[in-house]
């Protein structure tokens, strides 16, 4: 069941007891999402913490020239939400779209506040989740300003090992800030070095 994967996710931090699990099961919303379906658009307030049961999502922005820039991915057992929009209840500056058919579990903002006030474990668990995501975004920012394209690609492979074969080159290249052709060149060079160390 989908909810069991959510319980397992919490078990990595501070496991929930049976009453907490029962309450969470009653309040969480399960949704089936189609490929290319948006679960958040620019100028919309992010109103859910979203847990990915299966599938894959991207967080992206489209610039004034119509070019898409991927900022983040989320696949199985990841949480995805726009922190600023969710906590300040302001409009999002980015979109969240399914790259694959997906199943998600969502916790609404009112239920999220309820869980934090009612169960101390939720506060601690979500603090770890948000801090982990923040650290990932800090590292990504450092990579953008100080790493080569190849170093950024290798960091992508470390952060998203399960996605390297699932995502098309165009999506990965957008995340790295390079063209798909340059990404193919980087991959060939890495493969050649590994074949002839």
| pLDDT, tens only, 43-94 | 999 999 999 999 999 999 999 999 899 999 999 999 999 989 999 999 999 9
- From 108, 123, 145, give the residue that closes a domain: 145
Cα separation, 179 vs 34, in Å, equals 27
Same domain, 10 and 34: yes
Contact 99, 54 (CB under 8 A): no
Same domain, 98 and 185: no
List the domain range (segments joined by +) for residue 123.
2-145
Task: Please state the pTM of the whole predicted model.
Answer: 0.90
| pLDDT, tens only, 107-165 | 999 999 999 999 999 999 999 988 988 888 888 888 888 999 999 999 999 988 889 88
Cα separation, 88 vs 69, in Å, equals 24
């Amino acid at each position: 069941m989908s909810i069991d994967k959510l319980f397992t996710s919490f078990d990595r931090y501070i496991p929930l007891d049976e009453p907490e699990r029962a309450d969470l099961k009653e309040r969480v919303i399960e949704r089936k999402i189609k490929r290319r379906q948006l679960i958040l658009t620019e100028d919309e307030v992010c109103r859910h913490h979203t847990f990915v049961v299966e599938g894959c999502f991207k967080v992206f922005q489209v610039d004034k020239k119509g070019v898409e820039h991927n900022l983040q991915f989320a696949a199985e057992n990841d949480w995805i939400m726009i922190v600023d929009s969710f906590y300040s209840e302001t409009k999002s500056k980015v979109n969240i779209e399914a790259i694959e058919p997906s199943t998600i579990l969502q916790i609404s903002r009112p239920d999220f506040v309820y869980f934090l006030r009612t169960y101390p474990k939720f506060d601690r668990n979500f603090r770890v989740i948000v801090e982990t995501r923040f650290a990932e975004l800090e590292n990504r920012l450092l990579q953008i300003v100080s790493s080569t394209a190849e170093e950024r690609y290798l960091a992508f492979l470390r952060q998203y090992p399960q996605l390297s074969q699932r995502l098309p080159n165009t999506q990965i290249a957008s995340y790295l800030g390079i063209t798909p052709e340059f990404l193919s060149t980087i991959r060939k060079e890495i493969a050649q070095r590994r074949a002839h160390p």
